[in-house]
Amino acid sequence: MQNKEEQIIRSEYSEIMQKSYIDYAMSVIISRALPDVRDGLKPVQRRTLYDMYELGIRYDRPYRKCARIVGDTMGKYHPHGDSSIYEALVVMAQDFKKGLPLVDGHGNFGSIEGDGAAAMRYTEARLQKITQEAFLADLDKDVVNFQPNFDETEKEPEVLPVRLPNLLVNGADGIAVGMVTSIPPHNLAEVIDATIATIKNGELTTRELMKYVQGPDFPTGGIVVNKDDLAEMYETGVGKIRMRGRVEVEQAKGGRENLVISEIPYTMIGANIGKFLNDIASLVESRKATDIVDISNQSSKDGIRIVLELRKGADTANLINMLYKKTRLEDTFGVNMLAVCDGRPETMGLKKIIESHIDFQFEVNTRKYRTLLKKETEKREIQEGLIKACDVIDLIIEILRGSASQPQAKECLVNGVTDGIKFRSRASKKQAAELRFTEAQATAILEMRLYRLIGLEIAALQKEHDITMKNIARYEDLLNNYDSMAKLIIRELEAVKKEYGKPRKTVVENGEEAVYEEKKIEEMEVVFLMDRFGYARTIDVPTYERNKETADAESRYVISCMNTDKICVFTDTGSQHLIKVLDAPFGKFRDKGRPIDNFCNYSSAAEAIVAVESLQKIKMSLLIFATEAGMVKQVEGSEFDVAKRTIAATKLQEGDRLLSVRCMGEAETAVFRTVNGMCLRIPIGEIPLKKKGAIGVRGIRLNAGDKVEAMYYPDSEHDKTIFYGEKEVHLDRLKIAGRDTKGTKIRN
């Protein structure tokens, strides 16, 4: 055998990567993430609906298990995870996400409050009536192209012949590679009115179309408050929608009032309802919403109902504005009307989307009536042949009786060939030679049953032929006359609107900016208490004075401060966490308090508290930092007055931990004590002033394997005497040495 020469193709690696990534990105964009402007569906939605149609799961038939639908869709059309198919199926059945649900779900399909749907083996589904009538009708009439599935064993439609602008009605959201689509849902009746108006007058501008389409219509209702911004959004396809929930004031017993939230912004669907309730609770706990005495979520299948019970004489208007400002009761919906148009992603405005749908409707109906015209033309040919045959039936019977075979008889009927056929007379033979039926007519005559010769059957055939001729004339008129086709499409749209149109849920207006006056906090001196478990609370000074001994014994940190102050928490990782004193619950002495994890970024699992002090005191002091590795520094306290809730209070070497943070008091010396019993007393004046981002300098020279265990600052009141093991050590008697020395050994 002759060896073939190896052919090495050299290519730039970056070019291969670029091409591969572009191919991948376009695959995600076109085949996964973005809807098609023609039917408003993503591939997974289109395939799921088509599979249900193929399985015969119609609106007037029994429900079928979702597991069957998902499995069949995945095996035939969508070779991806079953979770993505089931999630798409669930969303199409949720009336709080879709303005026009396309699937009729039976079982637990989740809730507006974020509860997930039951597993697919428990739930059932079938098509909605409108899905069958307006999304999947006429697929047998060659109205759309079909393409091979992923393994070329099945055929699937490239797009569904949807009769209404579903991209606008149901909206869409999806994340592709480098692009995002976010289209809000709209009112079915309004969108159909705008489509009909565009068919009648293609010169309408976007602003003129907005006479029909007021704005988005979310299934959760609510209020759109930036009406004037919508025109630009619909013109460019990009913008923001400001939404508010609907708040009503109800009269309660005792002359009090309740705030009832009956509609929520669309963006609050799911877990955000729970977050909204937590935000209100936080406002109450921080005493910003003192007029709220109780919060209850009374939502049910009938709709949203969140009740806020108020104190007597509460300022309801101010409170409503506060909810808009401080919670997600007012939120923003980002709009980017991106969809696949002519095989490529494009951001489109309202007019372009409607025009694209109209073009698609004309294309679908043209293909439909061409197919119907072809069938009717073929039917006419057969009918005319049978009618003609009835007029010469005796001759045809004579031909059939005199023929030796069917092909011989057919040749006579089509071409008048009489050779080999026995006739009763020359006149019959001459008449047979003049026959000129078409191939299709001859076949129909040969297959015709004798009962068709009954007088009534012949009359019915003539009547059927008349109907066929009328159909042909109608179809030719539709195909050749734009106005006729336009009227047909308009009639179909009006029929959909009449049966499925619903009143608008979302109000569109120009709302005023929510302005509320924050109640001025009455400044007062309090005592901040935190126990060894990290539970913190504040009490007033008289309460502390009455329970001073118990408070000091039970609390790890006791700090006198103003209620407008902040508390600095330093941890062994070198972090500083800021806590607003107002965030800590204020109450009775025996109240437990709340973990500081709830109102700052401190994590008890990842770090340990080293020091806690009020920011007001820190700002007026110098802070001394000391680490286990013996590093020390002084820092101006003003550096820790920051807006961020968490900052790096100091820089640490690898493996080092912050050991001590102390406000400078009257002490003139600092004492290091190590694990192995070494003590070093140095003048505080030798500790240099550094920035908080510095590591510091070495305060004590440590022996191998040793580390600093404690820091002391002996002054007139504190830290004069300590115990190391059983030995009592008088710190003020230790010899003062220089910084960066080893110190002396404490002997037991």
**Which of 243, 196, 247, 179 is closest to 215 using CA atoms?**
243
Do the bridges between strand 507-508 and strand 223-224 make them parallel or antiparallel, or are there none, so unpaired?
Answer: parallel
Q: What is the residue whose two structure tokens read 């010396």?
A: 669
SS3 (DSSP) at 662: strand
Rounded Cα gap, residues 86 and 88, in angstroms: 5
Q: What are φ and ψ of residue 510, in 5° steps?
A: -100, 95
The 3-class SS string of 207-265 reads HHHCCCCCCCCCCCCCEECEHHHHHHHHHHCEEEEEEECEEEEEECHHHCEEEEEEECC
φ/ψ of residue 203, rounded to 5: -90, 5
Measured torsion, CA atoms of residues 401, 406, 409, 412, in degrees rounded to the nearest 10? -170
Integer Cα distance of 511 and 495 in angstroms? 35
Q: Is the dihedral of CA 304, 309, 313, 319 positive or negative?
A: negative
- Look up residue 45 and give its two tokens: 């939605």
CA angle 446, 447, 450 (to 5 degrees): 95
- C-alpha to C-alpha distance for 388 and 233, rounded to whole angstroms: 65
Radius of gyration of the chain (CA): 42
The dihedral through the CA atoms of 500, 502, 214, 268 has a sign that is: negative
Cα–Cα distance measured from residue 558 to residue 280, given in angstroms and rounded to the nearest whole number: 29
E strands present in 351-394 = none
Quick one: angle between helices 350-391 and 455-480, nearest 10?
150
The pair of three-digit structure tokens given for residue 595, joined into one six-digit string: 């973990």
For residue 176, what are the contacts with CB-CB under 8 A and spacing of at least 6?
25, 28, 29, 32, 33, 34, 345
The H or E element spanning position 34 is none
Q: How far apart are CA 164 and CA 162, in angstroms?
A: 6
Residue numbers annotated as active site: 122
Give the C-alpha separation, 324 to 273, whole Å: 14
* Phi then psi dihedrals of residue 640, to 5 deg: -100, 5
> Cβ neighbours of residue 416 under 8 Å, at least 6 residues apart?
432, 433, 434, 435, 436
What lies within 8 Å, CB to CB, of 338 at 6+ separation is 34, 179, 180, 181, 183, 237, 345, 346, 347, 348
Q: What is the DSSP string of 503-564?
A: ---SEE-BPPPP--PPPPP---EEEEEE-TTSEEEEEEHHHHHHTHHHHHHH-SEEEEEETT
**Residue 528 and residue 614 in contact, taking contact as beta carbons nearer than 8 Å:** yes
The residue type of 166 is: N
Q: For residues 73 and 48, is the Cβ–Cβ distance under 8 A?
A: yes
For 29, other C-beta atoms within 10 Å of its C-beta total 20
Please give the torsion angle defined by the CA atoms of residues 604, 606, 608 and 610, in that order, rounded to the nearest 10 degrees: -120
Identity at 12, one-letter amino acid code: E
Beta bridge partners of 258: 250, 309
